[in-house]
Amino acid sequence: MRDNLQTIETCEQDKNTEHRKFQRWNQVPRKRDNLAYKKPTWQSTSHDNTVNSTLAVDGLKSICDYHTKQCSISAGGQTYATWWVNLTSIRSIHHIVIYYRTDGFDWNEKNDYTARFLGFYFYVSNTTDRSKGHLCFHDKNYTRATIPAVVNISCPVHGQYVIYYNERLPGANYPSGYFKFAFSELCEVEVYGASNGYTSRFLGFYIYISNTTVKREEDLCFHDTNYTRSTIPAVLNISCPFLGQYIIYYNKRLPGVKYPTGYSRNAFNDLCEVENVTVDFMVQIALYLVDIVWIQFNVSR
């Protein structure tokens, strides 16, 4: 199982083959949704219960201060501060936009909140453990005079949790201008990703494990009957209790048959790459679909 996000690849990456580079994500204009909007959140501490973690994904960011209750604000005097949003499934992420607390004051080196923002980290992970995730950004260069109140971070990876972290550890030497304690004062965090334009093609798929190229019902490993365009995750883990020589992906859209709402009109086979590796009596099969999903099937003996 490759649960470390750093090992999860997309079809944009080289996959160790020089001639196979997929760059459709940035080349083709497409709609991107704010995947974080009103999703579950958590923060390590709260200044009080009126500025809890949910305020960073409520869509309100017109006045980024304490009194309007548009910001999630951590407690003071902390050596570290953590906030995360749970996207509820592993999603394809493109970029992250952060709106920091300003309290209505001019945003420059005289605004004390610039000092609290400096040195922050953003991770994308498949768990709440940032150490097992992908580091999207760590501020090492901003000063109180240069750090923007709205930061746009490019992070084209897959993951379920987007994690903000900052620290002011005892005994550590931080650059001039850093505040003494760590804070999380996020007025809005927007996580933009694919609008699932290809998910309709994937719905209803079958996976067979067979010793021949002929698919038989007794060789059926998995058939999707429950996912919708909004619920199908970017990573699926499916356990098959048997082995075979052929892994068969199959989907259908037969004339005259009524399929559930959201299914594409025609059947597609949008596979970018298939990998099969046996590890510790487990056959791991990875199917890479066009642009939006990375699926890993586990076939056990």
Has residue 23 been placed in a domain? no
- Tens of pLDDT along 280-299? 444 555 555 544 334 455 54
Domain count across the chain? 2
Name the pTM for this structure.
0.69
- Mean pLDDT calculated for residue range 26-51: 84
Indicate the SS3 state at residue 219.
helix
Cβ contacts of 163 within 8 Å, gap of 6 or more:
82, 83, 84, 121, 122, 123, 124, 125, 128, 130, 133
In a domain? residue 179: yes
What average pLDDT is seen over the chain? 82
**Residue holding tokens 């996000």?**
5
CA–CA dist 177, 144 (Å, integer)? 6
Asked if the structure places residue 26 within a domain, the reply is: no
163 and 248 together in one domain:
no
Contact at 8 Å (CB) between 19 and 36?
A: no
Residue 218 to residue 281: CA distance in whole angstroms: 22
Asked whether the predicted pLDDT for residue 79 surpasses 80, the reply is: yes
Looking up residue 189, the CATH number of its domain turns out to be 2.60.120.260
Residues 185 and 248 in one domain: no
How many whole angstroms from its chain centre is CA 195?
Answer: 13
**What range defines the domain where residue 170 resides?**
31-194
Q: Where are the alpha helices (DSSP H) in 47-87?
A: none
178 in the same domain as 52? yes
Residues 152 and 56 occupy one common structural domain = yes
Could you tell me if residue 240 is inside a domain? yes
pLDDT at 8 over 80: no
Residue 110 has pLDDT above 60, yes or no: yes
142 within a domain of the structure (yes/no): yes
Q: Are residues 121 and 182 in the same domain?
A: yes
The domain boundary residue, chosen from 194, 224, 252: 194
| Same domain assignment for residues 190 and 203 | no
